[in-house]
């Protein structure tokens, strides 16, 4: 009887194996919900070009932009769950449904792996009178509404980062009005031009302006100082606060792809993540590298969803 | 700059591999630009994975060459078939097509080519000589300054409307209305999306542009099928003799177009498309024969053609000096610069001098290479007009479908293209020009964004638009441009009627 069971198990393993041994048989499409040229696009393209070598099929990167990321995230979730359409989903998937932009949440995807996270930094103009985060927050508290911040759209990740920190420090988030912008670069440019006072974006986004001596990084919302500038203090050191916020990127597939396909993709992605090319690329851009496998990514996204939902509610942006 | 640096730079460029990359990217750029819907930005994005495996100089060279070619090549379908290959050609599409109908297609294309080259070289010269200083000025532009710039751009609509300015304004307002649709507004509030994810993505400019120019023309052709298809082209033979005459006739226009193009390109919020619109309008405003504009007159093409290519080089100024993209192409380039260890910054010209000068040499080479390749492309493309109309029109429609699909990889783009093609046909049959509507769509989102940003920053005080020195200057200029026709009508009431 036992041997029969064994045989059956072996047989079924062979059949399942044979059915999926061929995957992938044709090129795979990797959907990016953000525009060509940004950090997300660049990350997707390097992953695609390295993953091609692992799975021996071309991976075509397709930008589906618009609607603050809704269109692309929607396209990934709705694609056939056969493993031939995957996507790079970003932190916004845990935010957009709280503000009523879409019904989609992280549960609508099959996670493959977490590949990157870039914590928020706090940046001011080089001639700003504020030399540390404590003074800056005290000034915001003392003169509500006087200073303005920018660096992403209304209710975007960097908006939440600073609003959440103010809340954490017992300051009304409304004391630092948000000026919506099309991303960190226009926000930083506006700050240097004197239009706004604070830009809470990631360190690599501000790097050129910091190096050019136009912008000062006051602190980083992470447990560790940034690799690019080890002298920039953490919030823990500056304020004794554990507040942390990062933009992250996850490779995911539509919900319900075959387990074998998920494993194949996960294995290939892990090899890409461990490769020297990927590490060199991310280091050259100053992007942070973090890894979580499918299970870890699912937990990570579920936690992010809860945390960001609570923050959005606390700062009055959730619907 | 020492001789040693320069010889190092030359050695970097005149390497067989680098030269091969330049020629290959030129052909690629020409192809992408000539197909409507495929933009110079897309050419750059497609090149990025290839550049991962190249040394720094050929990596940047491939992008510089491909984009320069693509912006020029956009003029080809624009002129011959009324399908702007890239948004940067849309400003003078009607003018160029009118020239083709008059049999002067090769003159229009030759002008597009030669003055693209001159504009590109001018922009490169400015980039070499004055990049750090100009980048400092560009960084002084905040939303207040951009707001005025956009309003100035909108005033171009009046000059784009041939005959009836009121109908031009109606068309412009239609464009602004379309631009307000979708999620891409400052509050990220869904407008006219009806809960549909495709509509939430907004009405994308490129399929609309293809529809309004090309599809409307196809419909018109079908509607008049019984009339003869007469488009005999006068051969201009040697492209350069004709262009030398034009250069002598319009030296000021060339200089003005190149200067304005470089300046607009250097501003982080504006690129080649806006430069072309403003230059075309400026050309008409200061022309001695403004009445000829719109009927197939080369003057505006000379100025706007120089303008959009010089903007391309201008956009590299803030990108190289501060890592702030001057347009969507340099936004991609900045990432490539980092990967290649050419980190943008004011000191890049000192620390990476050989590589930087090598890139400048590539800029010059790419612009010069445009001449032989461009002439070959023009000669080849002109044959299109000999094709029978029954064959040509379906083929154009096919290209329209491909282009509208490719921009977002979405069938929704095709629907948009067809719908706006019909709208444009109805508009034009009733004397409403389509160019101002396209202008409204290009500038609408910027107008709203900069106005709202400024209002938030200023806590709602309108006077803030005049409180910063550059904003005050631009504001005064804008008001003067708008007030001038009224003032003139008041001072000189009856000159024409008397």
Q: A147 to chain B: nearest residue by CA?
A: B457
Q: A277 to chain B: nearest residue by CA?
A: B52
Let me know whether A137 and A230 are in one domain: yes
Tell whether the model's pLDDT for residue B245 goes beyond 90: no
Hey, which residues 217-276 in chain A have their CB within 8 Å of chain B? none
Residue A4 domain-assigned?
A: no
pLDDT given at position B435: 83
% of chain B beyond a pLDDT of 70: 93
**pLDDT tens for each residue of A206-256:** 988 899 899 999 999 999 999 899 999 999 999 999 999 999 999 999 999
Burial readout B175-204 (b: 16 or more C-beta within 10 A, e: otherwise)? bbebbbbbbbbbebebeebeeebbbbbbbb
Let me know whether A35 and A100 are in one domain: yes
Q: Do A66 and B204 touch (CB under 8 A)?
A: yes
Residue A80 domain-assigned?
A: yes
Residue B497 domain-assigned?
A: no
Let me know whether A145 and A294 are in one domain: no
Q: If you count residue pairs, one on A and one on B, with CB atoms under 8 Å apart, how many are there?
A: 175
> Final residue of a domain: which of A239, A260, A291?
A239
Q: Distance between CA atoms of A7 and A63, rounded to whole angstroms?
A: 47
Beta bridge partners, A125, equal A215
Is the Cβ of A60 closer than 8 Å to some Cβ of chain B?
A: no
A192 contacts in B (CB within 8 Å)?
A: 139, 322
Q: Distance between CA atoms of A189 and B332, rounded to whole angstroms?
A: 17
Let me know whether A106 and A126 are in one domain: no
Let me know whether A234 and A127 are in one domain: yes
Is the Cβ of A205 closer than 8 Å to some Cβ of chain B?
A: no
pLDDT given at position B396: 83
Q: Could you tell me if A201 and A120 are in contact, meaning their C-beta atoms sit under 8 angstroms apart?
A: yes
Q: Which residues contact B443 (CB under 8 A, 6 or more apart)?
A: B150, B153, B154, B176, B179, B274
Host domain of residue B14: 3-491
Which site among A31, A37, A41 would you substitute to test the B interface, given the most B Cβ atoms closer than 10 Å to its Cβ? Answer: A37
**CA nearest to B120, candidates B351, B370, B289, B426:** B370
Host domain of residue A39: 28-117+246-314
Residue A19 domain-assigned?
A: no
Residue B496 domain-assigned?
A: no
Residue A208 domain-assigned?
A: yes
**pLDDT tens for each residue of B132-187:** 888 888 888 888 998 998 888 888 776 666 667 788 889 999 999 999 888 777 77
B188 contacts in A (CB within 8 Å)?
A: 68, 101, 153-155, 180
Q: Which of B197, B321, B346 sits opposite A70 (nearest CB)?
A: B197
Our CA-based measurement puts residue B336 at a distance from the nearest CA of chain A, in whole angstroms, of 9
Q: Could you tell me if B278 and B311 are in contact, meaning their C-beta atoms sit under 8 angstroms apart?
A: no
Residue A18 domain-assigned?
A: no
Number of compact structural domains in chain B: 1
Let me know whether A87 and A126 are in one domain: no
Q: Could you tell me if A107 and A298 are in contact, meaning their C-beta atoms sit under 8 angstroms apart?
A: no
Q: Distance between CA atoms of A209 and B448, rounded to whole angstroms?
A: 27
Tell whether the model's pLDDT for residue B123 goes beyond 90: yes
Which site among B47, B144, B188, B448 would you substitute to test the A interface, given the most A Cβ atoms closer than 10 Å to its Cβ? Answer: B188
DSSP code at position B231: -
Give the CATH number, domain containing residue A203.
3.40.190.10
Let me know whether A131 and A111 are in one domain: no
Q: Look up residue B392 and give its two tokens.
A: 């040509």
Q: Which of A159-173, B406-420, B477-491 has the highest mean pLDDT?
A: A159-173
Let me know whether A205 and A266 are in one domain: no
Q: So what's the ipTM on this one?
A: 0.76
Q: Do A37 and B331 touch (CB under 8 A)?
A: yes
Q: Distance between CA atoms of B310 and B317, rounded to whole angstroms?
A: 12
Residue A153 domain-assigned?
A: yes
Region class of B424: left (phi > 0), else alpha (psi between -120 and 50), else beta: alpha
Tell whether the model's pLDDT for residue B239 goes beyond 80: no
Q: Do A208 and B343 touch (CB under 8 A)?
A: yes
A201 contacts in B (CB within 8 Å)?
A: none
Q: Which of A126-135, A138-147, A260-269, B147-156 has the weakest average pLDDT?
A: B147-156
pTM over 0.90: no
> Final residue of a domain: which of A181, A204, A239?
A239
Let me know whether A261 and A223 are in one domain: no
Is the Cβ of A49 closer than 8 Å to some Cβ of chain B?
A: yes
**pLDDT tens for each residue of B259-308:** 999 999 888 767 888 889 889 988 988 888 888 888 888 899 999 999 98
> Final residue of a domain: which of A239, A272, A304?
A239
Q: Could you tell me if B28 and B315 are in contact, meaning their C-beta atoms sit under 8 angstroms apart?
A: no
Our CA-based measurement puts residue B143 at a distance from the nearest CA of chain A, in whole angstroms, of 7
Residue A15 domain-assigned?
A: no
Q: Do B322 and A150 touch (CB under 8 A)?
A: no
Let me know whether A310 and A162 are in one domain: no
Q: Distance between CA atoms of B108 and B98, rounded to whole angstroms?
A: 9
Residue B147 domain-assigned?
A: yes
Q: Do B269 and A285 touch (CB under 8 A)?
A: no
The CA-CA-CA angle for residues B7, B8, B12, to 5°, reads 115
Let me know whether A82 and A130 are in one domain: no
Q: Distance between CA atoms of A223 and A294, rounded to whole angstroms?
A: 24
DSSP code at position A99: G
The CA-CA-CA angle for residues B123, B124, B128, to 5°, reads 120
**Helix-then-strand count for chain B, H and E:** 24, 0
Residue B498 domain-assigned?
A: no
> How are the residues of chain B apportioned to helix, strand and coil, as percentages rounded to the nearest 5?
75, 0, 25
Let me know whether A208 and A228 are in one domain: yes
């Amino acid at each position: 009887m036992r041997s029969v069971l064994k045989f059956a198990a072996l047989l079924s393993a062979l059949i399942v194996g044979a059915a999926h041994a061929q995957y992938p048989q044709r090129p795979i499409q990797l959907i990016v919900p953000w525009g060509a040229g940004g950090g997300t696009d660049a990350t997707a393209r390097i992953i695609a070009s390295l993953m091609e070598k692992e799975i021996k099929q071309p991976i075509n990167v397709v930008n589906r932009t618009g609607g603050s990321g809704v269109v692309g995230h929607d396209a990934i979730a709705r694609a056939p769950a056969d493993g031939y359409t995957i996507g790079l989903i970003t932190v916004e998937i845990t935010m957009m449904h709280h503000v009523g932009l879409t019904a989609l949440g992280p549960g609508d995807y099959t996670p493959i792996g977490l590949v990157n996270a870039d914590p928020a930094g706090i940046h001011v103009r080089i001639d700003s009178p504020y030399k540390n985060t404590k003074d800056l927050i005290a000034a915001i508290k003392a003169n509500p509404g006087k200073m303005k911040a920018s660096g992403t759209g209304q209710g975007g990740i960097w908006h939440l980062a600073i609003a959440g920190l103010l809340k954490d420090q017992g300051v009304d988030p409304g004391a630092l009005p948000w000026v919506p912008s099309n991303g960190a670069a226009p926000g930083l440019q506006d700050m240097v031009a004197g239009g706004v006072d604070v830009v809470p974006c990631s360190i690599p986004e501000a790097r050129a302006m910091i190096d050019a001596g136009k912008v000062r990084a006051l602190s980083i919302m992470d447990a560790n100082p940034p690799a690019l500038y080890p002298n920039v203090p953490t919030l823990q050191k500056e304020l004794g606060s554990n507040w942390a916020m990062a933009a992250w990127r996850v490779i995911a597939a539509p919900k319900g792809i075959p387990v074998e396909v998920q494993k194949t993709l996960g294995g290939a992605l892990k090899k890409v993540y461990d490769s020297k090319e990927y590490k060199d690329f991310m280091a050259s851009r100053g992007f942070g590298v973090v890894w979580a496998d499918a299970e870890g990514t699912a937990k990570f996204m579920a936690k992010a969803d809860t945390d960001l939902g609570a923050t959005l509610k606390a700062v009055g942006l959730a619907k | 700059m020492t001789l040693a640096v320069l010889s190092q730079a030359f050695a970097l460029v005149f390497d067989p591999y680098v030269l091969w990359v330049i020629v290959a990217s030129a052909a690629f750029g020409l192809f992408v630009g000539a197909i409507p819907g495929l933009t110079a930005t897309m050419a750059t994005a497609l090149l990025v994975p290839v550049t991962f495996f190249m040394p720094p100089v050929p990596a940047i060279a491939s992008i510089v060459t491909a984009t320069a070619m693509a912006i020029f090549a956009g003029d080809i379908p624009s002129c011959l078939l009324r399908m702007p290959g890239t948004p940067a050609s849309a400003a003078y599409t009607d003018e160029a097509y009118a020239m083709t109908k008059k049999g002067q297609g090769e003159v229009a294309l030759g002008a597009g080519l030669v003055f693209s080259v001159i504009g590109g070289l001018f922009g490169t010269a400015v980039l070499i000589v004055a990049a750090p200083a100009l980048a400092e000025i560009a960084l002084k532009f905040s939303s207040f300054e951009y707001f005025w710039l956009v309003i100035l751009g909108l005033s171009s609509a009046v000059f784009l409307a041939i005959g009836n300015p009121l109908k031009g304004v109606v068309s412009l307002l239609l464009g602004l209305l379309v631009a307000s649709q979708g999620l891409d507004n400052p509050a990220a509030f869904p407008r006219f999306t009806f809960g549909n994810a495709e509509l939430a993505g907004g009405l994308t400019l490129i399929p609309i542009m293809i529809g309004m120019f090309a599809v409307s023309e196809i419909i018109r052709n079908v509607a008049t099928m019984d009339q003869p298809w007469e488009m005999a082209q006068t051969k201009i033979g040697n492209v350069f003799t004709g262009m030398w005459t034009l250069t002598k006739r319009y030296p000021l226009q060339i200089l003005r177009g190149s200067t304005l193009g470089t300046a607009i390109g250097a501003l982080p919020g504006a690129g080649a498309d806006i430069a072309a619109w403003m230059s075309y309008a400026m050309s008409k405003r200061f022309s001695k024969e403004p009445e000829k504009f719109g009927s197939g007159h080369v003057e505006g093409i000379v100025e706007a053609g120089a303008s959009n290519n010089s903007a391309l080089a201008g956009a590299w100024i803030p990108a190289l000096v501060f890592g702030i993209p001057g347009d969507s192409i340099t936004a991609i380039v900045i990432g490539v610069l980092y990967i290649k260890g050419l980190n943008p910054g004011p000191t890049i010209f000192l620390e990476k001098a050989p590589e930087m000068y090598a890139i400048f040499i590539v800029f010059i080479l790419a612009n010069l290479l445009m001449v032989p390749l461009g002439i070959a492309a023009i000669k080849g493309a002109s044959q299109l007009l000999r094709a029978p109309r029954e064959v040509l029109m379906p083929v154009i429609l096919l290209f329209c479908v491909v282009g509208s699909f490719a921009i977002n990889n979405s069938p929704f783009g095709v629907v948009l293209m067809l719908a706006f093609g019909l709208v444009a046909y109805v508009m034009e049959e009733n004397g409403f020009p389509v160019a101002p509507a396209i202008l409204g769509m290009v500038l609408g989102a910027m107008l709203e964004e900069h106005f709202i940003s400024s209002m938030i920053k200023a806590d709602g005080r309108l006077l803030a638009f005049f409180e910063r020195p550059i904003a005050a200057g631009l504001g005064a200029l804008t008001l003067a441009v708008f007030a001038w026709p009224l003032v003139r009508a008041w001072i000189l009431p009856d000159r024409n009627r008397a």
